[in-house]
Amino acid sequence: MTLMETLYDEHEKIAAFIETLQQKCVALMEHGTFDAQEFYDAIRHIREYADKEHHQKEERLLFRAMVKELGPAAENLVQHGMLVEHDMARLTVSELEKAVHAYEETKSADAKLDVLAHTMEYVYLLRRHIAKENGAVYPFAERHLKPETMQKLEEDFKAGRSFEG
């Protein structure tokens, strides 16, 4: 698979995963049973797959190439859009982790509400983020990056390197 095919494919997997997160929230509301380990496992998966695997490919490869080659429009899109949203997702996951810890300690309704709120905040953020990248960012890159830049991205992707241009 090419870099772009991989990024789109990973979005499909992340979208399916966040649907399971929403279902965990629904189950928690309907049945009231709280399994902290399920949420810790979800947090680990988010950090290892969505962030470390997927977002790092975007940040180390595609976004660097876009900023270097496509000028201010791409720089604004990346620096003030996508990277900000990546950081917001990381913050939301950190807040979710704190909420799970708080619930384990207190078993309070407030802490449970925080778990639900931060989980759904992440779900909504990622849905919008994926829609933006699939609908605007990736097509913009595919249309405007030079063929030789796309080739270099492929080489760096296959070799596990960051894009240096």
Sign of the dihedral defined by the CA atoms of residues 11, 15, 21, 25, in that order? positive
Three-state DSSP class for residue 160:
coil
**Inside any domain, residue 165:** no
Contacts of 100 (CB under 8 A, 6+ apart): 36, 39, 40, 43, 115
Q: Residue 69 belongs to a domain with what CATH number?
A: 1.20.120.520
Domain that holds residue 106: 3-159
**Inside any domain, residue 107:** yes
**Inside any domain, residue 65:** yes
**Inside any domain, residue 147:** yes
For residue 25, what pLDDT is reported? 96
Closest CA to 59 of 157, 158, 159: 157
The total domain count for the chain is 1
**Inside any domain, residue 164:** no
**Inside any domain, residue 150:** yes
Residue 39, both tokens: 């949420």
For residue 165, what pLDDT is reported? 67
Residue by residue, pLDDT tens for the chain (165 residues) are: 999 999 999 999 999 999 999 999 999 999 988 899 999 999 999 999 999 999 999 999 999 999 999 999 999 999 999 999 999 999 999 999 999 999 999 999 999 999 999 999 999 999 999 999 999 999 999 999 999 999 999 999 999 989 886
**Inside any domain, residue 30:** yes
Residue 95, both tokens: 């807040």
Q: Where are the alpha helices (DSSP H) in the chain?
A: 3-31, 36-45, 56-57, 63-77, 83-106, 109-132, 138-144, 147-159
For residue 33, what pLDDT is reported? 84
Quick one: residue 71, left, alpha or beta (phi over 0 = left, psi -120 to 50 = alpha)? left
Residue 9, both tokens: 């494919």
Q: How far apart are the first and last CA of the chain?
A: 21
What is the C-alpha separation between 98 and 56, in angstroms, rounded? 24
